[in-house]
């Protein structure tokens, strides 16, 4: 029972990471209808930015806010410079662009900050959360921040005019344009928000996995699995999906003898394929009806 509780807590803690990444993926998916394969690399780059600022002597929270703001601007810039010109191009061309972006960011992080793992500070220390033996302060903070982001996003999309306009632009760009929504600006905002959420996720993950240019690849796959499990179009679903993937990963690794550490990535593959085959819209995604 002790082992079980411990694994559940560990699963929830890594689930919080996956939930963040899944949330960022869903943001871009909602804005442009594409899955951003460079999301992990964007988050890593943002994390390096905050690390650099801390090296220069900036306090933690200042670096945190500055990195998120810079990432927001960077995300909008990437959309405007790289993706706006090819908005009408085929899915394949766009995927190649994402891959190109991934290569550029990964290589840049490695070039500027080299490939050695760096420890990353956490403002809360690594001591256990009082009252819970199995959960560290940092993990608890991570879950709290994920929940906070989700609430803020929900309010943003539900109650602000910009949020509503973004939804309209994603749902039906032509009609949105006709009623005066600036669709291109909304898409750029979606990119900015995704980059910002990615930055938050990266900064929270870095103390656990150590900072290095490739830290996100495995996490990205779980993030994908979480986003698919929750339904690609639903932010709440993405968060639930992320936590579930964390739980499944830890429990399967502990209790199914053949799986262990060797097949951890394969679990993500299995989750993605099973969800896509059994329920492609995920847990909370809207059902797609096709007119014939």
Partner 1 sequence: MALMQNVQVASSSRAILGSRWSLGIVFLAAALLAPFLLHKFYVFQMTLVLIYAIAILGLNLLVGFNGQLSLGHGAFFALGAYTAAMLIEHGGVNYAATLPAAGVICFIFGFLFGLPALRLDGIYLALATFALSVATPQILKLSVFETWTGGVQGLIVTKPDAPPGLPLTADQWLYFLTLGVSMLMYWVAVNLVASRTGRALRSVRDNPLAATAMGVNTAYYKTLAFGISGAYTGIAGALSAIVVQFVAPDSFTLTLSISILVGLVVGGVGWLPGAIFGASFILLVPNIAEGISKGLAGAVYGVMMILLMLVLPSGVSTPVRWMQRKFQAWAK
Which of 62, 147, 152, 273 is in the footprint of partner 1 by CB under 8 A?
Answer: 273
Does 179 bind partner 1 (CB under 8 A)? Our answer is: no
**Contacts of partner 1 in 23-42 (CB under 8 A):** 33-35, 37
Of the pair 178, 289, the CB lying nearest partner 1 is at 289
What are the angstrom distances between the C-alpha of 83 and each of 73, 92, 171, 187?
Answer: 15, 13, 19, 10
Please answer whether residues 205 and 219 qualify as being in contact, where contact means their C-beta atoms are separated by less than 8 angstroms. Answer: yes
Spatial distance between the Cα atoms of 47 and 63, rounded to a whole number of angstroms: 10
Residues facing 136 on adjacent strands: 128
Q: Specify the 3-state DSSP secondary structure of 128.
A: strand
Which of 1, 179, 277, 289 is in the footprint of partner 1 by CB under 8 A?
Answer: 277
The DSSP letter of residue 84 is G
Instruction: Count CB-CB contacts under 10 A for residue 187.
Output: 24
Does 221 bind partner 1 (CB under 8 A)? Our answer is: yes
With residue 112 as reference, give the H or E element that holds it. Answer: helix 91-113
User: Minimum distance between the CB of residue 77 and partner 1, rounded to whole angstroms?
Assistant: 14
For residue 19, what are its two tokens? 């939930």
Phi, psi of 128 (to 5 degrees): -75, 150
Spatial distance between the Cα atoms of 95 and 103, rounded to a whole number of angstroms: 12
For residue 21, what are its two tokens? 């990444």
Of the pair 213, 235, the CB lying nearest partner 1 is at 213
Does 116 bind partner 1 (CB under 8 A)? Our answer is: no
**Contacts of partner 1 in 96-115 (CB under 8 A):** 96-97, 99-104, 106-108, 110-111
Of the pair 38, 169, the CB lying nearest partner 1 is at 38
Stretch that binds partner 1, among 64-72, 116-124, 173-181, 218-226 (CB under 8 A): 218-226
Which of 92, 178, 179, 289 is in the footprint of partner 1 by CB under 8 A?
Answer: 92
Of the pair 32, 165, the CB lying nearest partner 1 is at 32
Of the pair 32, 199, the CB lying nearest partner 1 is at 32
């Amino acid at each position: 029972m002790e082992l079980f509780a411990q694994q559940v807590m560990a699963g929830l803690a890594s689930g919080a990471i996956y939930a963040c990444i899944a949330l960022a993926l869903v943001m871009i998916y909602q804005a442009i209808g594409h899955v951003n394969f460079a999301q992990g690399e964007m988050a890593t780059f943002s994390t390096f930015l905050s690390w650099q600022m801390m090296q220069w002597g900036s306090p933690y929270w200042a670096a945190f806010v500055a990195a998120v703001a810079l990432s927001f601007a960077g995300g909008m810039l990437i959309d405007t410079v790289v993706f706006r010109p090819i908005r009408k191009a085929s899915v394949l061309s766009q995927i190649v662009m994402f891959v190109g972006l991934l290569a550029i960011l990964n290589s840049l992080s490695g070039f500027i900050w080299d490939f050695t793992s760096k420890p990353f500070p956490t403002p809360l220390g690594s001591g256990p959360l009082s009252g819970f033996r199995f959960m560290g302060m940092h993990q608890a903070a991570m879950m709290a921040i994920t929940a906070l982001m989700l609430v803020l996003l929900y309010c943003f999309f539900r109650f602000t005019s910009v949020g509503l306009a973004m939804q309209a632009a994603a749902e039906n760009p032509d009609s949105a344009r006709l009623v005066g929504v600036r669709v291109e600006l909304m898409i750029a905002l979606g990119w900015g928000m995704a980059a910002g959420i990615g930055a938050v996720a990266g900064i929270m993950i870095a103390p656990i996995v150590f900072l290095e240019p490739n830290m996100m690849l495995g996490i990205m796959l779980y993030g994908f699995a979480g986003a698919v499990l929750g339904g690609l179009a639903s932010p709440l679903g993405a968060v639930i999906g992320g936590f579930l993937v964390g739980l499944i990963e830890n429990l399967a690794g502990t209790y199914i003898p053949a799986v262990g550490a060797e097949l951890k990535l394969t679990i993500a593959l299995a989750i993605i394929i099973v969800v896509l085959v059994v329920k492609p819209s995920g847990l909370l995604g809207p059902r797609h009806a096709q007119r014939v």
